[in-house]
Amino acid sequence: MRRITSVVATLALGATAVFAQNVPVIKERQDHFKKMGDAAKPVGAMFKGEADFDLTKVQAALKVMQEKAPILPTLFPDDTKTGGDTEALPVIWQEKADFEARFKKLGEAAKAAEASITDEETFPDTWKEVMGNCSGCHKKFRKPKS
Q: Which residues bind ligand HEC (CB under 6 A)?
A: 26, 29-30, 33-34, 36-37, 40, 65, 86-88, 99, 102-103, 106, 133-134, 137-138, 141-142
Minimum distance from residue 88 beta carbon to ligand HEC (Å): 4
Find out whether 25 and 71 touch, Cβ atoms under 8 Å.
no
d(CA 108, CA 134): 13
Pick between residue 8 and residue 104 the one whose CB is nearest to ligand HEC: 104
Which among 127, 101, 102 is positioned nearest to 113, based on CA atoms? 127
Pick between residue 7 and residue 125 the one whose CB is nearest to ligand HEC: 125
d(CA 19, CA 70): 28
Pick between residue 53 and residue 73 the one whose CB is nearest to ligand HEC: 73
Length of the chain equals 146
d(CA 127, CA 138): 17
Compute φ and ψ for 79, nearest 5 degrees. Answer: -85, 20
Minimum distance from residue 3 beta carbon to ligand HEC (Å): 42
Amino acid at the residue 10: T
Pick between residue 21 and residue 55 the one whose CB is nearest to ligand HEC: 21
Minimum distance from residue 81 beta carbon to ligand HEC (Å): 10
Minimum distance from residue 107 beta carbon to ligand HEC (Å): 9
Pick between residue 122 and residue 135 the one whose CB is nearest to ligand HEC: 135
Find out whether 129 and 113 touch, Cβ atoms under 8 Å.
yes
Minimum distance from residue 24 beta carbon to ligand HEC (Å): 12
